[in-house]
Amino acid sequence: MYNSKITGLGYYVPDNVVTNEDLSQMMETNDEWIQERTGIKERRWIKEGSEDTSAVMGAKASRIAIERAGLTTDDIDFIVFAT
């Protein structure tokens, strides 16, 4: 029988912040309308031309989780990735 445990968590988000005000300049909406319906104030988007893909961002998040857990990649048997 295997013993499994979560020893570290990591996340990565792109640097590019898109606010509700930014969206209101692209389409007919406003900050108040978006926040009232979704609670969202800002989101992170990948910049056009960026090398960040889901796989790249997942790898960055994995490295952060491993570091936070005080482990090395040799200590890891399995990584769960979700978006």
Query: Domain residues of the chain, as ranges?
Result: 14-51, 53-83
Position 81 confidence tier, pLDDT thresholds 50, 70, 90: confident
What pLDDT, in 10s, does the model give residues 5-26?
A: 888 899 999 999 999 999 999 9
What pLDDT, in 10s, does the model give residues 19-59?
A: 999 999 999 999 999 999 999 999 999 999 999 999 999 99
Position 73 confidence tier, pLDDT thresholds 50, 70, 90: very high
Mean local confidence (pLDDT), 74-83: 84
pLDDT reading at 79 higher than 90? no
- Measured distance CA(24)–CA(72) in Å, rounded: 45
